[in-house]
Amino acid sequence: MTASTPRLATGLPVERARSRIGAYVYGDVLVLGALLTVEIDAERPVIGALAVALTTVITYVAHVVSDAIGDRLGRDSKEHAASLPRELRDALPIASAGVLPALVVLLGALGVMPLLAAVAIGVAVVALRLAAVGVVIAHWTGEPAPLTAITAGVTVALIGAAVGLLEVLVAH
């Protein structure tokens, strides 16, 4: 990267921040989808926890691989190899989206808490992460969060929570 690379207040290059915020939202949405597939009355409820965990891992790997393939364009092998650690780091928001929900659902599957409560907590965690998108952007830019980012985050979180609530009420 050159000295002219635009950077945020945190020092992070803008291009990498865009990649991370995309991974953050993408990971949350896919984990929310996985949470909504957990069958509360399943014979083997641990499958639901595995679905959330595997969705997280597979999405992370797919994101890194697809970005690495796209990143190869216009770079020689040495430049491409040097970019891989950045790709792994910039996709971590996908992994962070699923860790806590998967662990909470696992606790529910193991009977430590009611599975329905565990799934509800998992959905709440993801909804809170989505609602915080504007705050995350504000942190990285060092500027107040744009109203559009806050509104979009809260809207996505409310839609996710509504879908989760409907799914629980209708399917369970």
pLDDT tens readout for residues 97-110: 999 999 999 999 99
- Is 1 a residue whose pLDDT tops 80? no
7: β partners: 13
Which range, of 8-12, 25-29, 123-127, averages the lowest pLDDT?
Answer: 8-12
- Is 15 a residue whose pLDDT tops 90? no
- The ranges assigned to domains in the chain are 14-171
Residues 6 or more apart from 86 whose CB is under 8 A from it?
16
Task: Give the per-residue pLDDT at 89.
Answer: 92
pLDDT digits (tens, 9 = 90+) for 17-48: 888 888 998 899 889 889 988 888 788 889 99
Task: Give the per-residue pLDDT at 166.
Answer: 74
pLDDT digits (tens, 9 = 90+) for 132-141: 888 888 777 7
- Is 85 a residue whose pLDDT tops 70? yes
Task: Give the per-residue pLDDT at 71.
Answer: 77
The amino acid at 143: E
Tokens for 1, please give them: 């990267």
Residue range 151-164: mean pLDDT, rounded: 77
What does pLDDT average to over the chain? 85
Instruction: Please report, for residues 3, 29, 105, 147, the alpha-carbon distance to residue 22 in angstroms, rounded to integers and kept in the order given.
Output: 24, 11, 25, 18
- Is 2 a residue whose pLDDT tops 60? no
Distance between alpha carbon 162 and the CA centroid of its chain, in Å?
18
In this structure, what are the phi and psi dihedrals at residue 148, rounded to the nearest 5 degrees?
-65, -40
Stronger pLDDT, 160 or 157, i.e. the higher one: 157
Residues 6 or more apart from 15 whose CB is under 8 A from it?
5, 6
- Is 168 a residue whose pLDDT tops 70? no
